[in-house]
Chains A and B, each alone.
Chain A
Amino acid sequence: MSSRRDFMGMALGGFSALGGLAALYAMKRSWDPLPSVKAAGFTTVDLSGAQENVLNVEKWRGKPIFILKKSADMPADERDVLVGSDRFLIAIGLCTHLGCIPAYLPDQEIFHCACHGGQFDASGREIFGPPPSPLVIPPFKIDGTQLVLGEEGPEYIKMKEAGVIA
Chain B
Amino acid sequence: MAHFDENAKPFSNQWLNDRLAIDTVKRVLSTEYWIPKNINFLWAMGMILAATFGLLVVSGIFLLMYYKPDANLAFDSVNYTIMSEVGFGWLWRHIHGVAASVVFLIIYIHMLTGIYYSSYKKGRELIWISGMLLFVTFSAEAFSGYMLPWGQMSYWAGMVITNLFEGGSLELTGLVEWIRGDYVPGDAYLMRFFMLHVLLLPLVIIGLIVFHFASLRLPHVNNQEGEEIDFEEAARLYKEDKKKESKVIPFNPVFLSKDIFVMGVYFILFFFLVFYNFDFAMDPVNFDPADGLQTPTHIYPEWYFLWSYEILRPFPKDPGLIAFLIAQVIFFLLPFIDRSSNVAPAHKRGLFVIWFWVLVVDMIALTVLGKLPPEGMFNTLGTVAAIIFLLMWPILFVITKFEKKL
Complex Cα distance A100/B159, Å?
8
B192 and A115 contacting across the interface, CB-CB below 8 Å: no
Complex Cα distance A142/B298, Å?
36
Complex Cα distance A103/B297, Å?
9
Q: By the criterion of a CB under 8 Å from any partner CB, how many residues of chain A are at the interface?
A: 28
Interface of A is mostly: loop
Interface string of B140-181 (1 = CB under 8 A from A): 000000000000000010011001100011000000011111
Binds A, one of B98-106, B183-191, B260-268: B183-191
CB of A64 closer than 8 Å to a CB of B: yes
A63 and B183 contacting across the interface, CB-CB below 8 Å: yes
A31 and B374 contacting across the interface, CB-CB below 8 Å: no
Q: A59-B293, A64-B292, A116-B374 are in contact. Are A31 and B299 (CB under 8 A)?
A: no
Specify which chain B residues have a CB less than 8 angstroms from the CB of A63 in the assembled complex: 183-184, 292
Complex Cα distance A59/B292, Å?
9
Which residues B286-318 have CB closer than 8 A to chain A?
A: 292-299, 313, 315-318
CB of A117 closer than 8 Å to a CB of B: yes
Query: Which of B181, B293, B294, B317 is within 8 Å of A130, CB to CB?
Result: B317
Which residues A21-53 have CB closer than 8 A to chain B?
A: 28, 31-34, 37, 40
Specify which chain A residues have a CB less than 8 angstroms from the CB of B298 in the assembled complex: 114-115
Q: By the criterion of a CB under 8 Å from any partner CB, how many residues of chain B are at the interface?
A: 35
Chain B residue at minimum C-beta to C-beta distance from A95? B295
Specify which chain A residues have a CB less than 8 angstroms from the CB of B186 in the assembled complex: 37, 62
Query: Which of B159, B295, B318, B374 is within 8 Å of A132, CB to CB?
Result: B318
B184 and A61 contacting across the interface, CB-CB below 8 Å: yes
Complex Cα distance A132/B160, Å?
15
A37 and B292 contacting across the interface, CB-CB below 8 Å: no
Cβ of B365 to closest chain A Cβ, rounded Å: 19
Q: A37-B183, A99-B159, A100-B159 are in contact. Are A115 and B295 (CB under 8 A)?
A: yes
Complex Cα distance A50/B121, Å?
67
Q: A99-B163, A117-B375 are in contact. Are A33 and B295 (CB under 8 A)?
A: no
Q: A32-B178, A100-B160, A132-B168 are in contact. Are A116 and B313 (CB under 8 A)?
A: yes
Complex Cα distance A31/B189, Å?
9
B188 and A34 contacting across the interface, CB-CB below 8 Å: yes
Cβ of A71 to closest chain B Cβ, rounded Å: 24
16 CB-based A-B contacts, threshold 8 Å: A33-B177, A33-B188, A40-B183, A63-B184, A98-B163, A100-B156, A100-B299, A101-B295, A113-B295, A114-B298, A115-B298, A115-B299, A116-B313, A117-B375, A130-B316, A130-B320
Instruction: Write the residues of chain A forming the contact surface with B, with a CB cutoff of 8 angstroms.
Output: 28, 31-34, 37, 40, 57, 59, 61-64, 97-103, 113-117, 130-132
When A and B form their complex, which 10 residue pairs have the shortest distance between CB atoms, in order from nearest? A62-B184, A101-B295, A99-B163, A132-B317, A100-B295, A61-B183, A114-B297, A98-B160, A64-B293, A115-B299
